[in-house]
Amino acid sequence: MALSIWEALAVFAAGIGAGTINTIVGSGTLFTFPVLLATGLPPVTANVSNTLGLVTGNISGAVGYRRELRGQRRRIVRFGVTALIGGLTGAVLLLALPSKAFDAIVPVLIALALVLVVLQPRLARALARRRERNGTEAPTDGGVALLAGLLVASAYGGYFGAAQGVMYLSLMGILLHDGLQRINALKNVLGVVVNGVAALFFVFVADVDWTAVLLIAVGSTLGGQAGAKLGRRLPPTVLRGVIVVVGVVAIVQLLLR
């Protein structure tokens, strides 16, 4: 499908916005997906093209956060395998299930993730006090509970992806004993894995608008670098506020679709 110059500029600008917000929080799809639909692309083609285009933005954001990734190699491997399985599962579901299959549950999942983000410091302290009373230690890298949560979040990411980063941040923020910026860096790597495996799958089995992919890819790459510079300067409280705002916008948009 041929895009007019104004449509192309709109898709490119949306790609910049998506790359920026994906690196800071996630939910860049909220920028790009509606714009692609407005150009006349069918929903599935728009979703697939969007996923492909955002891969370079995810990589750009992860590279921008490379300093915060130091010492997290074991987590990257462990969580990356989980994200790969979940992302591929979600990509398959996108082509196998009707779009209404997730419409009811996704806003609920995002709302729950936002509650967890807001309560994360209090919940983390409560868990620490409980372990101290019981004389137990925290599970290594979040334990089975975190792996299960990341698997579900990654499957959702491969399926659609709006607010996937919010889900990652809420889960890891509670179950990992680490700073929010280091967790955010890890979230960006998982985004690369999920979008990457879904994109590879889509190339072989789905219709793709390569013009839209290219525009989003260039824009999101630029936005990824901008997001890394901005995101790492935000204190944890402000970053949580941004996460909540983005998550609420995601819920509203999904309910109005």
- pLDDT tens digits, one per residue of 30-80: 788 888 888 888 878 888 898 899 999 999 999 999 999 998 999 999 999
Q: H-helix or E-strand containing 82?
A: helix 73-96
CA distance 157 to 86: 8
Per the listing, tokens 């714009």 go with: 35
CA distance 231 to 255: 28
CA distance 103 to 93: 13
Lowest-confidence range among 59-68, 159-168, 207-216? 159-168
Beta-carbon neighbour count of residue 101 at 10 Å? Answer: 13
Q: Give the mean model confidence (pLDDT) for residues 97-120.
A: 69
pLDDT band per the 50, 70, 90 thresholds, residue 174: confident
User: Which of the two residues, 95 and 225, has the higher pLDDT score?
Assistant: 225
Q: Which two tokens stand for residue 182?
A: 């280091």
Lowest-confidence range among 17-21, 48-52, 165-169? 165-169
Supply the pTM of this predicted model.
0.81
3-state secondary structure of 247: helix
Q: How many domains does the chain have?
A: 1
Task: Report how far apart, in Å, the C-alpha atoms of 249 and of each of 29, 120, 254 are.
Answer: 12, 20, 9
Angle between helix 105-134 and helix 236-256 axes, rounded to 10 deg: 150
Beta-carbon neighbour count of residue 253 at 10 Å? Answer: 17
Task: Reply yes or no on whether the pLDDT at 106 is more than 70.
Answer: no
pLDDT band per the 50, 70, 90 thresholds, residue 107: confident
As a whole-number percent, the residues of the chain with pLDDT over 70 amount to 87
Lowest-confidence range among 29-43, 123-137, 144-158? 123-137
Q: Give the mean model confidence (pLDDT) for residues 22-32.
A: 81
User: What pLDDT score was predicted for residue 101?
Assistant: 61
Task: Reply yes or no on whether the pLDDT at 194 is more than 80.
Answer: yes
Judge contact between 162 and 90, C-beta under 8 A: no
Q: Which two tokens stand for residue 126?
A: 């409560």
DSSP letter for each residue of 12-62? HHHHHHHHHHHHHTS-THHHHHHHHHHTT--HHHHHHHHHHHHHHHHHHHH
pLDDT band per the 50, 70, 90 thresholds, residue 103: low
Q: Give the mean model confidence (pLDDT) for residues 11-17.
A: 93
User: What pLDDT score was predicted for residue 158?
Assistant: 86
Task: Reply yes or no on whether the pLDDT at 147 is more than 80.
Answer: yes
CA distance 24 to 43: 26
CA distance 218 to 231: 20
The parent domain of residue 57 ranges over 5-256
User: What pLDDT score was predicted for residue 150?
Assistant: 94
Task: Reply yes or no on whether the pLDDT at 99 is more than 70.
Answer: no
- If DSSP states are collapsed to H, E and C, what string results for 88-140? HHHHHHHHHCCHHHCCCHHHHHHHHHHHHHHHHHHHHHHHHHHHHHHCCCCCH
pLDDT digits (tens, 9 = 90+) for 50-64: 889 999 999 999 999
Task: Report how far apart, in Å, the C-alpha atoms of 4 and of each of 10, 35, 211 are.
Answer: 10, 13, 11
CA distance 252 to 110: 11
